[in-house]
Amino acid sequence: MIMQSLLWEYARMKPDNNYLVTPWSARGLDSIHGVVFLVIGAALLAAGLIIGSSFTREPRNSLLTVAGIVFAAVLFTVVFASGEAATVGGGLGGIVFGLALGYTLFLGAQRLAERQYGASSSQARVLKGGTGSLILIVALGVGTLLTSAILGNGREFAAPVAVFILMTLIGALVSLMRQAAMAANRMLIATAVVAGTAMGLSGAAIRSTLVRLQAEGGNIPGQYRDTQVTWGYFLANIGVVIFFMGAVMLWARRRDVVQAQQRAAKQRAAAEASAAELAAAG
């Protein structure tokens, strides 16, 4: 749905302006927006097919897929928005960024303790339960303070740099959660949200593009207030919502598979330990 929206009408003028301005409407083929939506749809489709395959069942491959999505997002921004700037931090976005950073730091501490001392060690247990909740609250505060100190009320970066910062944080967050084999599925859900947000916020740019095309054609340009987005734009956004729902269902299915594999591994380990004890006793 997202890709084929390229052929649909994205914006048009109010009917009263039908005979006053040319072009009166714009399809995806008439501007860069259709190409952007096409590439986003193709990238989401490719990511979904890769993550839905057995390739990402291995934790290492899952983490590699997360890194690949981060790289693809940055490359996409370099190609289509290399001359643009974006603001990171500030307002509600800065608060969300700070909380995400704090939670990532907390998860990193958990994984580090488990890796260095073992999942059942006292160092790992202190990051769980009531004590872990208190440490998490502290980590969220630290993340918010760090974001405020570094980014202030918002700091402007080149668009590729801003996307790299955002996607790297998301990638680290989904990778540090439990069950590394699920990291790619979590990243797919997050990517659908990011893509949907970018597409949803592009309505104003699509309307501005129609007015610009009229001026560039040497015709009498219409007014921005007389433009409206149409079915091509809405179809693409409906498509990304459906994709998000599919990504969630794919995550749920993969979670069941991973949990079944973990239970089987525990049962196998217990059986091997019992067999070893019997052999030693015999």
pTM for the structure as a whole: 0.88
End-to-end CA distance of the chain: 66
CB 159 within 8 Å of CB 77: yes
Tokens 């505060």 locate to 141
- Show me where the domains of the chain are located: 3-89+154-281
In terms of phi and psi (left: phi > 0; alpha: psi -120 to 50; beta: otherwise), the region of 196 is alpha
Per-10-residue mean pLDDT for the chain, 282 residues long? 93 81 90 94 95 89 95 94 86 90 92 83 79 90 91 89 94 92 94 94 93 86 90 95 95 87 78 78 68
Residue 232 token pair:
């091509």
What are the φ and ψ backbone dihedral angles of 23, each rounded to 5 degrees? Answer: -75, 150
